[in-house]
Structure formats: structure tokens, C-alpha cells
């Protein structure tokens, strides 16, 4: 077996895995009922699916077209930005009260996302009252 045939099998495998993961992510995005559970489908499963599709492209271009750097850049950007955007979406949902509150911490401690400086608390209250 030559390396071209092995590469075609690897590309086929990555395409199938990527398509399955992307399909599961899309179904999860449609089926989950609230924003916090819906958040996991595109950020976790979708990232793996798109990563597998990009890996298939990397393998194909590496073997048959002399290689390309664009897929590596896209994959790096995807794996760096997806967790960050998921984190910020989760924080927004927590601050808006759109999800269950986290459990109480012992000894009056505060969760880091809710532990704001006094100036920020005053600004938050001012914006909340002006919006109502």
C-alpha cells in the first residue's frame, strides 16, 4: 500500500468523523431547550467536527497538493476562540439570571464572575435601573 492510499483512507475517516460530529452538534443546538445546555453543542462537538474536517484537508493538501498553511491557521484560531466565546456566553447568561445560580460558597466567599469591584457594582446598578 502506498502512502497515497493510506492518506485517502485517513482523509475519508476524518471526513466521516467530522461530518458525524458536526451533525450531532447541529442537532444538539436545535434540540436543547435553554441557552446554557445549547451552548455545549456548537462549542464542544462542533469544534471537534470542524477540526476533523480541517484535518482531512490538511492531510489531503499535504499529500496531493504540496501542503497548505491556511488549514493550520484556521484550526488554531478555532481551538483558541471557541472556548473563550463559550466562556463569555456562559458568563452573560449567569449575570442575566437566565440559568440556575451556582451553589453557595462557604464563609461568605463569592464566585469570581460575581466578585466585582465596588465601582463596577455601582455602574451595574445604574445601568440596570436606567434600562427599566
Please indicate, yes or no, if residue 95 is contained in any of the structural domains.
Answer: yes
Decide: helix, strand or coil at residue 98: coil
Please indicate, yes or no, if residue 86 is contained in any of the structural domains.
Answer: yes
Determine contact, residues 59/7, Cβ cutoff 8 Å.
Answer: yes
Please indicate, yes or no, if residue 131 is contained in any of the structural domains.
Answer: no
Please indicate, yes or no, if residue 114 is contained in any of the structural domains.
Answer: no
Model pTM score: 0.72
- Give the contacts of 20 (CB within 8 A, at least 6 positions apart): 49
pLDDT digits (tens, 9 = 90+) for 39-76: 877 788 888 999 999 999 999 998 888 777 888 899 88
Please indicate, yes or no, if residue 119 is contained in any of the structural domains.
Answer: no
Please indicate, yes or no, if residue 118 is contained in any of the structural domains.
Answer: no
Average pLDDT over residues 69-94: 86
Structural domain that includes position 62: 3-101
CA angle 35, 40, 88 (to 5 degrees): 65
Please indicate, yes or no, if residue 113 is contained in any of the structural domains.
Answer: no
Amino acid at each position: 500500500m502506498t502512502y497515497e492510499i493510506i492518506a485517502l483512507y485517513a482523509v475519508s475517516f476524518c471526513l466521516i468523523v467530522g461530518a458525524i460530529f458536526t451533525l450531532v452538534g447541529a442537532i444538539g443546538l436545535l434540540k436543547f431547550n435553554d441557552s446554557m445546555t445549547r451552548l455545549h453543542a456548537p462549542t464542544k462537538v462542533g469544534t471537534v467536527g470542524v477540526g476533523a474536517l480541517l484535518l482531512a484537508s490538511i492531510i489531503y493538501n499535504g499529500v496531493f497538493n504540496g501542503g497548505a498553511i491556511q488549514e493550520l491557521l484556521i484550526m488554531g484560531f478555532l481551538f483558541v476562540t471557541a472556548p473563550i466565546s463559550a466562556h463569555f456566553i456562559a458568563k452573560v447568561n449567569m449575570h442575566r439570571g437566565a440559568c440556575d445560580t451556582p451553589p453557595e460558597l462557604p464563609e461568605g466567599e463569592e464566585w469570581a464572575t460575581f466578585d466585582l469591584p465596588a465601582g463596577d457594582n455601582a455602574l451595574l446598578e445604574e445601568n440596570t435601573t436606567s434600562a427599566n
